[in-house]
Structure 1
Amino acid sequence: MERRAAIQILAALAAGATLPPDLVETLRAGLGSPVPESERHSIDAWEQTAYEYASFLWPLPPAEIIGNLGADLADLREAIQRASDDTTRLGLHRISARLAAVMAMALHETGDFLAASRWWRTARRVADVSGDREVGAWICGRQAMMLAQSIGLTDKALKLADEARHLAAGHPNAGAAEAQATSAKVLAGRDATGARRTLDELMETFARLPEAVSQEHTAIWGWPERQLMQNRTAVLLALGDSSAPSSPPFVIARSLICSKAGPASN
């Protein structure tokens, strides 16, 4: 059923038709459901597929992403059904959570915010099923940022940012960084002191990010220095601060960590 829906979506896109909501919903509804065990599937192959979508999301037209991703989600649903052990099943749920978030972002780009909201909700639910709090934090943080920037739902964005921080549980990851960046931007128009404090927290988080996150310049779940620079600049401009230091953000972030740790011993 899911693959047939995906094929119909692709056909509609090729004909330039409006995306049929019921077909997109067929794909969404199947994610995260309890399924029987039968055979093992390669998580590595699906990780690579997810990485490709995370890399192609912005360069490609959103309708192209939606159609192709729909077909792959149908295949992923079948892979979950055939998973032979809990480790494989949970790993595939983790990947499907990330791909559901990509679908949400693509739908958001088409202006279909209600459909996007449903896919965000599914992404969060499936991340919870997978037990991967880091992926859950990234999904909440990313949705918070998009709601704040594109739609202006700042109160909901702050709640999602809080949820992302809760899931991150003090660990430096992309979800925590997204949440802090979102909160700093929203607070810049409400509470200058809170915005600056949150911005300092973001700088510290960035300084502690694993290289796999801070050096990821292609996939959307990376958080490279340019992302820090863009968010920091936006917050300072919103605060009316024209005296931003000329040092690179990473240098500033490292200096914050060192100042809290005290002088290094020789």
Structure 2
Amino acid sequence: MERRRLLKLLGLSLGAGPLVSSGEPLRQLLDLALQSEDRSVEDWEVACVNHMHALQRQPPVQVRDGLLVDLLALQRQLKNTAAKNIPDLSRVAAVQSFMMANALTRLGDHSTAIHWWHTAKAAADASGDLHVRLMVRSEEAGCGLYGQHGIPTVLRLLDDAQELGPDKSSFWYADLAGTRAKALTLLGRHDEAQRELATFVDYDGDDWRARIIPIRWNFGQQHFAESWVYAGAGDEAKADEARGRLLAHNPNYTHDVNGRLHEAVCTVVNGGIDQGAQQATALLGSLPSTHRSAMISEVGRMVLRMVPLDQRDRPAVQDLRATLAATAPHATLSQL
């Protein structure tokens, strides 16, 4: 019965494509069904490290498939574990669930991602660890910027998270401020955005996420936020400087492409509509299909939204619109 249930879940979640192409998800599932021993918390933490490494470097569909198998195993272990182990396993469940939500966000499957955010928050709350609860809510708000929620909803998520830990000197306040700076930029509230950005960039304490799970989290988030905010404000000199630091920081492929799209944003804001649109079109069109992501296409839409309404019939802008429709997961012309 357990094996039949797992096979059904795998089929519903993955479809036939990955099974036909490689069989790897099925192999992992069969291995899961045959396992008789629970994993230690340390083994689960290693699994989290591997999934985070994949999230930053591999196509999101592969990350989703690998996470699904581990989440099924974790669910089974949680169901049968002793009460004393529940907080640690819940912490792992919170991390793996938010990574699943992140992968689904990249795939443009926002409705399913939102369900996984609810699961991640429930697991974080079950861990009893304030830092885990804040981490998940901070990550949820950050993903919300990529077409998952309207900006007012993102700001409300940030407010709700801050109420859990309102200490303005903490890492979490700085992390939330970085997301708030990007959200305010999208609303055109540039002075407020730069004040929030300063809170994020000036923080020099410990990154608490690395204490929760031993993952190398920092891939230039502060430089990325600077690039986003300064580009949106049209501050070319500061945007160029921030982007240079970001691209020199060995970024993952999403940050690499988005940092370059920020240059197109800044170009459009400063009046170079055709040039900026052409930059964005070339970047989006050159991306391998396996690496197409809503986290990239939404920044491409940011370029489009910076074009004044009375200039959106220009051929270069129309080319950008068509490229976004062709390359963004689940994109339609009505969304653009």
What TM-score does the superposition give when structure 1 sets the normalisation length? 0.71
Letter in 2 for 1:84: A
Task: Give 1:69 shift.
Answer: 1.8
Letter in 2 for 1:231: A
- The SS at the match of 1:208 is coil
Report the counterpart of residue 206 of structure 2 in structure 1: 209
Report the counterpart of residue 157 of structure 2 in structure 1: 160
Task: Give 1:168 shift.
Answer: 3.9
Letter in 1 for 2:236: S
CA displacement 1:167-206 (0-9 Å, x = unmatched): 3443643x5444212110121234333212111111232x
140, 146, 160: which one aligns with 2:143:
146
- Structure having the higher helix fraction is 2
Asked whether the equivalents of residues 78 and 86 of structure 2 are also in contact (C-alpha less than 8 Å), the reply is: yes
- The SS at the match of 1:129 is helix
Alignment of 1:108-119 (within 5 A): 108-119=105-116
Report the counterpart of residue 230 of structure 1 in structure 2: 224
Alignment coverage as a number of residue pairs = 222
Query: CA 1:96–1:3 in structure 2 vs 1: closer, same or farther (change >3 Å)?
Result: farther
- CA RMSD in angstroms comes to 3.3
* Whole-Å separation in 1 of the counterparts to 2:11 and 2:118: 27
55, 59, 63: which one aligns with 1:61:
59
Report the counterpart of residue 24 of structure 1 in structure 2: none
More displaced 10-residue stretch of structure 1: 139-148 or 57-66: 57-66
More displaced 10-residue stretch of structure 1: 138-147 or 150-159: 150-159
Asked whether the equivalents of residues 105 and 148 of structure 2 are also in contact (C-alpha less than 8 Å), the reply is: no
Task: Give 1:137 shift.
Answer: 1.5
Query: CA 1:40–1:103 in structure 2 vs 1: closer, same or farther (change >3 Å)?
Result: closer
CA displacement 1:209-231 (0-9 Å, x = unmatched): 349749x9965xx234x221111
Query: CA 1:209–1:63 in structure 2 vs 1: closer, same or farther (change >3 Å)?
Result: same
* Whole-Å separation in 1 of the counterparts to 2:89 and 2:138: 21
Asked whether the equivalents of residues 41 and 82 of structure 1 are also in contact (C-alpha less than 8 Å), the reply is: no
Asked whether the equivalents of residues 104 and 110 of structure 2 are also in contact (C-alpha less than 8 Å), the reply is: yes
Query: CA 1:67–1:180 in structure 2 vs 1: closer, same or farther (change >3 Å)?
Result: same
* Whole-Å separation in 2 of the counterparts to 1:212 and 1:65: 20
* Whole-Å separation in 2 of the counterparts to 1:231 and 1:195: 10
5+ unaligned residues in a row in structure 1: which ranges?
A: 19-38, 250-266
Letter in 2 for 1:192: H
Report the counterpart of residue 121 of structure 2 in structure 1: 124
Letter in 2 for 1:50: C
Letter in 1 for 2:157: L
Task: Give 1:9 shift.
Answer: 4.8
More displaced 10-residue stretch of structure 1: 49-58 or 161-170: 161-170
Task: Give 1:123 shift.
Answer: 0.7
182, 187, 191: which one aligns with 2:179:
182
CA displacement 1:39-90 (0-9 Å, x = unmatched): 985211111112211221242333332233222112111221232242x211
Report the counterpart of residue 102 of structure 1 in structure 2: 99
Query: CA 1:83–1:41 in structure 2 vs 1: closer, same or farther (change >3 Å)?
Result: farther
Letter in 2 for 1:140: R
2:2 paired with 1:7: no
